């Protein structure tokens, strides 16, 4: 019996997806230095792929804002830019607050109860979790909250924003108070449960809001980690 060979394009797509995932993790964690030009030949060798799928993955990361492409010069690691991160926080706040207003009308009681159960299960204490794991849990909560809006496009945008601010959020999580954060999460969901739109939106906006000086401080620490420690964090 002959075994069917998968279509070539499926194989190529899976390679591109794998390389994209690997490069995405490297870009998010600043395995490349800010502003550094990427060596495509070395990367292809390191990842065990040809230049074609590598270039496709790099182009995808450029469109996602995780790398920069300069015509005639190549691909570069993005900078840790205060204004860009601040703008991304503003975008995150805008779409999450808009989504939670939709959730007031659309969320099922059982879905809201499940989100509260998630908070119970993950607990207020960080335990032995590192900042990478804590940010994963935090992102899971906020994505779960946005899913209640029944708007998949908002979730897609939020995931992109989260990826682009994740490095700064790891630093925030290092310095933050998880008990306070989890209390705020619970208050947001309880306001949603009461269908109190004004309170729910106000609590969420305050929870997400970051000032420029807070972002600047986190970025300074981020540069210190990148250049003094010489390593990036990965999940």
Distance separating alpha carbons of residues 70 and 76, to the nearest angstrom: 8
Distance separating alpha carbons of residues 185 and 78, to the nearest angstrom: 31
**Residue 163: pLDDT over 70:** yes
Distance separating alpha carbons of residues 103 and 195, to the nearest angstrom: 9
Closest CA to 156 of 148, 167, 165, 146: 146
Position 175 scores a pLDDT of 81
150 Cβ neighbours under 8 A, 6+ residues apart: 102, 106
CA 222, 225, 231, 235 dihedral sign is negative
**Residue 125: pLDDT over 50:** yes
Average pLDDT over residues 16-27: 96
Domains and CATH numbers, the chain: 8-77 (1.10.10.10), 82-229 (1.20.120.530)
**Residue 110: pLDDT over 90:** yes
């Amino acid at each position: 019996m002959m075994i069917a060979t998968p279509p070539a394009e499926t194989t190529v797509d899976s390679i591109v997806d794998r390389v994209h995932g690997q490069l995405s993790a490297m870009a998010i964690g600043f395995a490349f230095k800010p502003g550094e030009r990427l060596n495509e030949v070395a990367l292809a060798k390191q990842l065990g792929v040809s230049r074609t799928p590598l270039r496709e993955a790099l182009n995808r990361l450029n469109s996602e804002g995780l790398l920069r492409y300069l015509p005639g010069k190549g691909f570069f690691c993005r900078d840790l830019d205060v204004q860009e991160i601040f703008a991304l926080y503003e975008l995150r706040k805008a779409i999450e607050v808009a989504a939670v207003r939709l959730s007031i009308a659309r969320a099922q009681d059982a879905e809201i109860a499940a989100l509260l159960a998630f908070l119970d299960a993950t607990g207020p204490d960080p335990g032995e979790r590192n900042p990478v794991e804590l940010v994963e849990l935090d992102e899971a909560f906020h994505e779960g909250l946005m899913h209640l809006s029944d708007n998949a496009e908002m979730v897609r945008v939020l995931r992109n924003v989260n990826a682009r601010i994740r490095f700064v959020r790891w630093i925030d999580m290092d310095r933050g108070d998880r008990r306070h954060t989890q209390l705020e999460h619970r208050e947001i969901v309880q306001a949603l449960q009461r269908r109190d739109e004004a309170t729910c939106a106000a609590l969420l906006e305050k929870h997400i809001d970051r000032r420029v000086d807070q972002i600047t401080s986190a970025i300074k620490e981020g540069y210190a980690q990148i250049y003094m420690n010489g390593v990036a964090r990965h999940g």
